[in-house]
Amino acid sequence: MNSIKKLHICKNLTELEGKTAIPDVSDKKIPMLLETARKIIDVAEKKYNEGDQEAAYICYMRYFNLLNSIHKKPDYQQYKSQIRLTLGDNHVNKLTMDRLEDITKSLEERYTHLEMNGNLASTIEGTQTLTQLNLPSRSRSVSPIKNGKLLRAVTCRQLYEFMQVQSVLVMDCRPSEDYRESNLNYSLSFNVPAEIIRAGMSAGKLQDQLGQESKKLWSARSVKERVVLMDWNSSSTELKEDSPIGILLDILQLWDPDAVYRSPIGILDGGYEYFVMMYPTCCTNPTIVGPQSNSTIIEYGLVEDIEYPSVNDIQLKDDIIAQNQSNSSLSNHITLTSNRPAVDRSSKLAAVKLYNEKQQVITDIAKEQEILLEKAKENDQQYEQIAEQFNDIYNKKEFTNADQQIVYKLMQAESAAEDYKNENQRLKAELDLYKRREEEEKANPPLELAKDVEKIAAKIEERERVDEQLTKERLQLAEKLAVATKNKRRPLYNDLRPHGEDTDLEKNNENIKKLSFKPSPPQFDRSIKPQHYISNNYAEERVRDFSPVSGKVSRGLTGLKNLGNTCYMNSIIQCLSNTPQLAEYCLTDRYKKYVSRTNKTKGQIVDEVAALIKMLWTGNYKCVASRDLKYVIGQYQRMFRGLEQQDSHEFLTILMDWLHSDLQTLTPEHLREPMTASDKAWLEFTKAKESLILHLFYGQIKSIVKCAECGNESATYECFSNLSLELPENTCNLTECLDMYFSGERIFGWNCPSCEHKRDALHVTTKHAIKKLNIAKLPSVLVIHLKRFYADTDSPNPSYKKKLNYLRFPLENLDMSQYITISEKKRSTPKQYRLYAVSNHYGFMESGHYTAFCKSDALDHWYKFDDQMVTPLDSSKVVSSAAYILFYTRLPPLRTLG
C-alpha cells in the first residue's frame, strides 16, 4: 500500500485552490471535452493511488469544473447518453465527490499542522496510509453498486486503451479450451479457467489451482491500476451471480483478504465475443466463434433457420412500389401527419394547442428556408465565378492541371445547385400539404400565421424563378463542358505533378513509360513485371516514388495527386485510409505478419496500400502520389493501367478482394458444432482461410425462397463486401432503398422440392414462390453502393446514364436490425451504424469527377478530399446527390490514430 507523500505543491488550501482553474472551453465541442475529462479523472486516480493528495485534489477539482462547463453547454441534452457512458452516472460522480471531500479534510488538517508546527511531514508523511487517515479504501473507487458489490463497466474501447499503456490486468474466465484457441494478444492477460471456479472458494484456494505462469500474474492483482474480468459475453448490467465470472467477482471482493485493489474490479461489457469483433488485431485468433446455447439450437434449429412461418409475413417489392406511387416520397419529412388525433374544437385549450402545433410547423419550415436560401445564394455566386473562369479556358487546345480543377469545381457547383433546387421543392411540398389540410379542416388560422405562410410561399416562388433561369444557363454550359471534357486532355507531364510544382522532364518521361501501356502479353506473363516485384522481401526492397509535397498537416489529412483521371482511385483510398481499424493495421505494420506471398498478387497490393496509407498519416506532406500502387494494380487488372476514367465502385470491389486474398492466412481453429448452414457456406467461401479484411468488410446474405402453396422454405448463403441498392425515380431515404432491396419478389419457373409443383406464370395468384433476402452476418464496416448508373436501352443510341437523385441518408444511428436473420438478431453485437466516409461522383458517365467526404476520428470533424486538396467540411453538406458509395461502421473510434 502506498504511503502519503509529503506536501510539495502549496502551503495552504487556498493556494492549492488557485491551481484548479480550467481555461475557457466555450468554443470546444463536448466530445473533445469528454475525452479531456476522462484523462483528468484517470490522472486523478493515479495520483490518489500514489498517495499524492495535493496533485489528486487539483485533478479532481479540475474534473468537476470541466464537468460543470459541459453541463452548461447548449447541446448538453443530446450528449447525455455519451456523457454517462464516458464518465459514469450521478452515482459515480457522487462517489468521486465523496473522495474529494475526504481528501479536502485531510489536506486541511495537514496544512493546519504544517502552519502550526512548520514540519508536519516528519510525523505523517511516510508513516500514515490512506486507511489510517480514514480515507476511502482503493476498492471503493468510482463505481456503480449492484447487489452490494462494487462494479465498474469497462467498454471494449477502454480496455483497448488500458492495454496500450499496460495499466490493466485481465482475468479471462472462459473455459481453458476456448482460451487456448483464442485469447488477448496482451502480456498481462491470463486464464482463470471456468471449470476450476467454484462457489465458496477463497482466493488462496483458487490461486493454488492455477498454472505457474498464471500464478505470477495473479499476484499482480493489487499492483496494477485496474483489474478487468472477462468471459464470452457478460456485462456489468447482466451479470449472473452463479456464472463463473460472477463467482470469481465474489471471490475477489469478499474472500481475498491479502489484496487491496487500486480501483473497482471491472467487467468487460460484451465480453471477448464483442472485443474480438471490435479489435481483431489484438487477439491471437480473431476467427473464433462464441458458444451457442442449447436453447438457441432447439428453438431455431441448425439445419435451416425458418425465417418466415407464413408466406404472408413477407412484404413484397410490388407492394412497396405501389405504396410509393400512391404516396408522395416527401411524406416522411412532413411534420403534420395524416393520422394526427382529432381535436375537440369546443375546447379552448385544445384550440390553443392546435395553434401552437401549426405555428411550430411553420416556424420549422421558415428556419429551414432561411438556411437553404443563404446556402443557395452562396453557391450561385461561386458558380458564376467558376463559369466565368471556365469560359476563359474553353477555347484552349489543352487543359492544364489548374484548368482541370476549374472543370471539377464547375461539376461540383452544378451538383450543389441541383440539390438546393430539390430542397426548395421539398419545402414547397410541405407547405402545400399544410395548406391542403387547412382546407380539409376548414380552419381559419390567425392572421399572423397566415402571413407567415404567404411569406414562405413567396420566397419559394422567387427561388423557383431563379432556379429556372439558372437551369437554362447550366444546360448551355453543360453542353460546352461535355465537349471540353471529351476533346481536351491535360498535358501528361502536368498529370504527374500538382499544379505549380517544378517539373523534372526526364523523371516524368520515365513515369509516362510506366503509366502508358501498349498491348501487353497475357496477365500472368512475368516478363511484364520488373524483377524486384517478385521477391519475397518485396515490401522491404521496393523503392517507391511518392513525389511528396512537403508541408505540415494534421495526420490523415494529406491529399493524393491526380495522375490523370485517377480521382476514382484517390476517393476510395481516402475512404479506406479513414477506416481506423484498417489504418492502424497498416501504420503499426501488424499486417506484415499475415501477408500471403503465394497467392495471385503475392501480397503486393496490401504492401502498396499500406505504404501509401503510412504516407497519408505522417502529417509531413500536403499531398503525395500513388504511382506505385497504380502501377502494381495495373499489372493485375488491365482496365486500371491507362489514364481513362474508371468506376470507383468497381475499383473498390476488386481492391477488397485483392486485399482479402493478400492477407488470407488466418486459420479458424474453433468451429461451432454442429455447424449451421450459414457456417458451412462461410467456411466454403473462405476456404478455411480468413483475414482482417474479411472480418471488417465482409458480411453474408441469406437468400430465402418460399413456396406460396406449401410454405416450404429453402435457403442459400452468399458473402458480400458491399450492398448495391437501386434508386427510385424521385427523392428518397436510404431506408426506402434498403426496404426495396430486402423485400420479397415473386419468382416463376422454380420447382418446389417439397410439393413438387412447378411455379410458373400460368398460376400467378397462388402457384408461385417468393424470394427474400436477409443479412445472416452483419459486417463491422457496412459499405453501401448506390446504383446511379444504368443502361438506357430506350434511346436511339443506347448508352449508360446517371440518376441524379437526392438521397437522404443518416450520419448516425443507421439501424439494420429489421434486415437481419433471426440468428443474427440473437447475437449481442450492435445493429446500429454511423457514417464515416462517402465516395462522391459529379458529372456524368462519359465525364465526371470523384471526391471523398471523410470524418476524421482523431479530429472529430468532416473533411473533403478532392485529389491533392483537403479542406474542412460542414457536416450539413455531407448528404448530397453526388453520394455514390457510403461507408458505415459499428466500431468505436480509435482516437490513438491522431
Specify which residues 746 forms β-bridges with. Answer: 770
**Which residue in the block uniquely carries the three cell numbers 379552448?**
348
Specify which residues 191 forms β-bridges with. Answer: 172
Give the active site residue among 567, 623, 707, 732: 567
Note whether 779 and 699 are within 8 A (CB): yes
Cα distance between residue 604 and residue 533, in whole Å: 8
Nearest alpha-carbon partner for 587 in 549, 553, 618: 618
**Which residue in the block uniquely carries the three cell numbers 453502393?**
785
Distances in Å between the Cα of 823 and the Cα atoms of 168, 291, 334, 772 are 34, 13, 36, 16
H-assigned helices in 765-835: 822-826
DSSP per residue, 384-405: HHHHHHHHHHTT-SS--HHHHH
Nearest alpha-carbon partner for 748 in 722, 774, 769, 727: 769
Cα distance between residue 573 and residue 872, in whole Å: 18
Q: Are strands 745-747 and 769-777 parallel, antiparallel or unpaired?
A: antiparallel
Q: Are strands 861-866 and 799-802 parallel, antiparallel or unpaired?
A: unpaired
Contacts of 312 (CB under 8 A, 6+ apart): none
Please report, as a single letter, which amino acid is at residue 736. E
Three-state DSSP class for 455? helix
Cα distance between residue 232 and residue 58, in whole Å: 39
Cα distance between residue 292 and residue 306, in whole Å: 18
Counting every residue written for the chain, the total comes to 898
Report residue 708 CA to chain centroid gap. Answer: 40
333: annotated active-site residue: no
Give the active site residue among 586, 660, 849, 854: 849
Element (H, E) at 650: helix 648-662
Element (H, E) at 724: strand 723-726
Q: Rounded to the nearest 10 degrees, what angle do helices 53-71 and 90-117 cross at? A: 140
- The count of other CB atoms within 10 Å of the CB of residue 91 is 12
Note whether 69 and 25 are within 8 A (CB): yes
Three-state DSSP class for 878? coil
707: annotated active-site residue: no
Catalogue the E-assigned strands of 125-215. Answer: 145-146, 149-150, 152-154, 168-172, 189-191
Cα distance between residue 435 and residue 441, in whole Å: 10
Cα distance between residue 738 and residue 728, in whole Å: 11
DSSP per residue, 512-581: HHHH---S---TT-GGGS-GGGSSTTHHHHPPP----EE----TT--EE--SSS-HHHHHHHHHHHT-HH
Note whether 269 and 153 are within 8 A (CB): yes
Element (H, E) at 850: strand 848-856
Catalogue the E-assigned strands of 763-820. Answer: 769-777, 781-787, 789-792, 799-802, 807-808, 814-815
**Which residue in the block uniquely carries the three cell numbers 520488373?**
530
Contacts of 56 (CB under 8 A, 6+ apart): 44, 45, 47, 48, 103
* Radius of gyration of the chain, Cα coordinates, nearest whole angstrom: 32
Cα distance between residue 34 and residue 666, in whole Å: 37
Helix, strand, coil percentages in the chain from 3-state DSSP, rounded to 5: 50, 15, 35
State the catalytic residues: 567, 849
